[in-house]
A and B are shown apart, each in its own frame.
Chain A
Amino acid sequence: MVQVERTSTLEVRTPEDVVKVRQEVRKRTAAVGFSLVDQTKFVTAASEIARNTIDHGGGGRAHIETIVLTGKRGVRLVFEDQGPGIADIKLAMQDGYSTGGGLGMGMPGSKRLSNEFYVESSPGKGTKVTLVRWKSS
């Protein structure tokens, strides 16, 4: 069973909030002892999903948790919004897919930067994206 050691919640509505999310995730991953590369990867993933929450989800929240599971420690991020939802998750997870020009929704990339990645979403029901990265020994 995953235990949550610490958790904080941030509003994700403005570009300044994205900066705050990045800073908090950076602090947490550093505290758990992630290598610099792993920190950078996860903070970047957080930044991508935070932007998505604003651009596509109309704004929402981010829960940043330090977790423990049978001795290994990690950081879990949960981004949720009450926006329009994603109609076709599979399509959104393909590289290069995008609804509004640009480089795609950043989801497939964020998945590669995380150890675990889950998306719950359907039209009209909002979106919830969970990312987990464990400290590598």
Chain B
Amino acid sequence: MEQIPILKVGRCLLVSIQIDMHDKLAMALQDDLTQKLVETRARGVLIDISALDLVDSFIGRMLSNIAAMARVLDAQTVVVGMRPQVAITLVELGLTLTGIQTALDVDRGLALINRLIDAEGEDGAGGAH
């Protein structure tokens, strides 16, 4: 079964969603991420959805779950690369991705995550490194 690759970039984990996700893949991704977050002690998760031409409530729920789970593990989540027509559709659908920050692209997303992590200071679980 295909797996979605998770890369470590600085203090973040980067996930690029390229294909049409279905349930098993989504579950596998969430499991993978949780594991890697604990392993690497990453403080941020960057989800790149620039390849998605559609985000429905299923994907929306998956993103919210990932953000909630990351928060429990003291990590910030930023979603980047949402296409205009997807944003307009989500707003019409009434899907509020609460608890999820967004940025235009990976560069800005990383900058944002770093700002957020620094703003939190060193009282995170990992302490000063």
Asked whether any CB of chain B lies closer than 8 Å to the CB of A103, the reply is yes
Asked whether any CB of chain B lies closer than 8 Å to the CB of A76, the reply is no
State whether A15 touches B23 (Cβ < 8 A): yes
Instruction: Classify the secondary structure of A's interface with B.
Output: helix
Complex Cα distance, B95 from A33, in Å, reads 26
State whether B94 touches A19 (Cβ < 8 A): no
Report the minimal beta-carbon distance from B60 to chain A, rounded to whole angstroms: 7
Complex Cα distance, B60 from A27, in Å, reads 23
State whether A51 touches B58 (Cβ < 8 A): yes
Query: A residues 84-108 with Cβ under 8 Å of B?
Result: 95, 102-104, 106, 108
From B8-16, B67-75, B81-89, B101-109, give the one contacting chain A.
B81-89
Interface string of B17-29 (1 = CB under 8 A from A): 0001011100000
- The answer, among A19, A103, A112, for a CB contact under 8 Å with B57, is A103
Interface residues on B, range: 20 to 34
Report the minimal beta-carbon distance from A66 to chain B, rounded to whole angstroms: 20
State whether B89 touches A18 (Cβ < 8 A): no
* B122: A residues at CB distance < 8 A: none
Report the minimal beta-carbon distance from A93 to chain B, rounded to whole angstroms: 12
Asked whether any CB of chain A lies closer than 8 Å to the CB of B39, the reply is no
- The answer, among B22, B55, B60, B61, for a CB contact under 8 Å with A19, is B22
Give A contacts to B, CB under 8 Å: 15-16, 18-19, 22, 36-37, 39-41, 43-44, 47-48, 51, 95, 102-104, 106, 108-110, 112-113
Instruction: List the 10 shortest-distance A-B pairs measured between CB atoms, nearest first.
Output: A15-B22, A109-B93, A40-B85, A47-B56, A37-B85, A19-B20, A41-B89, A40-B89, A103-B57, A106-B57
Given contacts A37-B84, A109-B57, 4 further A-B contacts (CB under 8 A): A15-B23, A48-B57, A95-B94, A112-B94
Q: List 11 A-B contacts (CB under 8 A).
A: A16-B22, A37-B89, A40-B85, A47-B58, A48-B93, A51-B58, A103-B60, A109-B94, A112-B92, A112-B94, A113-B89
Give B contacts to A, CB under 8 Å: 20, 22-24, 53-58, 60-61, 84-86, 88-89, 92-95
